[in-house]
Amino acid sequence: MKKLFLLISMVALAEVNAQIDPVKYPTFTNIEDALNSKKAVYSMSFREKGLFNLPPKIVKLDSLFFLNIMANKLEKMDRELFELKELEYLNVNENSIKYIPDEISKLTKLTSFSMNLNSLTSINPNFSKLQNLKVALFDANNLNTFPEALMEIPALEEINLQGNQISFIADRLEKIKNLKFLNLSNNQINDIGNLSFPKNIKYLELQQNAITKLPENLFKAQQLEFLNVSDNNIAEISSGIKGLKNIVSINLANNNIKDIPVEISQLKNLKTLILTGNPIEKSKIEKLKTLLPEARVYF
């Protein structure tokens, strides 16, 4: 499992690096080289340096907008970090950090914050002051509730909370108005009531939980394209599923579903329906194939 999260963190970092022009913004890996540069330093990486603390001199690099300090031995976020007011991308994956200090609110220009594979049990309420944040990654920590601070950042487009211990989500998700991608897989969610989702959500991952029923409000998410609720305890799918007008892929594998409502035939954009590991009779599968001639049905 840890290797999987390592891969996720590397993919996330690769996506960030893809946004940085390596010629215009060369990435320094040595603090002295950076300090001796005759040009402004915008990008710095201390990845896998065995650091217990950030080099204090880093505060002199006041033009930094990208900082990677993943895979070190940090147990806290050093105060020097919060003096880097131009930071837009911050990666602190794979450390041993247990809390986010109040000073996080100083990094108001952050657009991407990645803190996978640490030891967080909660997210500081001051995190909500990062109103320019678009990406928040907290995979593989020790969170047991959906961080309410994230619900106060409407600019967020992507939230990853995979591999925590989340069992409770306050019904305020719709406040994250720009949210397009939400990953809550591999948590401890069993009852999500009639949770409302942001109207712009496109990708929703809820696999590997203990969910028994999908909320009717989910079927109001008309922009949703990819839904993964595999490996749960879902026994029934509501006819309300017809509301997912733009859905392209639905993964319902490894649940307790015995039938799919005929209303699924109204999903004209559906290309993939995965039903493996459910107790559905073969005759009903054949009927589904007839109802969905343009989709691939896996069983």
The pLDDT of residue 185 is: 98
pTM: 0.92
Label residue 40 by pLDDT band (50, 70, 90): very high
Asked whether residue 167 carries a pLDDT value surpassing 90, the answer given is yes
- pLDDT tens digit string along 105-158? 999 999 999 999 999 999 999 999 999 999 999 999 999 999 999 999 999 999
Residue 80, burial from CB neighbour count under 10 angstroms (0-12, 13-18, 19+): middle
In the chain, the N- to C-terminal Cα span, in Å, equals: 26
| 199: Cβ contacts below 8 Å, ≥ 6 apart | 174, 177, 220, 221, 222, 223
Mark residue 280 as left, alpha or beta (left: phi above 0; alpha: psi -120 to 50; beta: remaining): beta
Asked whether residue 25 carries a pLDDT value surpassing 90, the answer given is no
Q: Where in 70-194 does DSSP place strands (E)?
A: 89-91, 112-114, 135-137, 158-160, 181-183
The pLDDT of residue 150 is: 98
Taking alpha carbons only, the member of 95, 103, 102 closest to residue 119 is 95
The pLDDT of residue 3 is: 41
The pLDDT of residue 19 is: 60
The pLDDT of residue 21 is: 76
Asked whether residue 13 carries a pLDDT value surpassing 50, the answer given is no
All structural domains of the chain, each given as residue ranges with its CATH number in brackets, are: 1-188 (3.80.10.10), 192-299 (3.80.10.10)
What is the residue whose two structure tokens read 């991952």? 205
What is the residue whose two structure tokens read 């020097």? 80
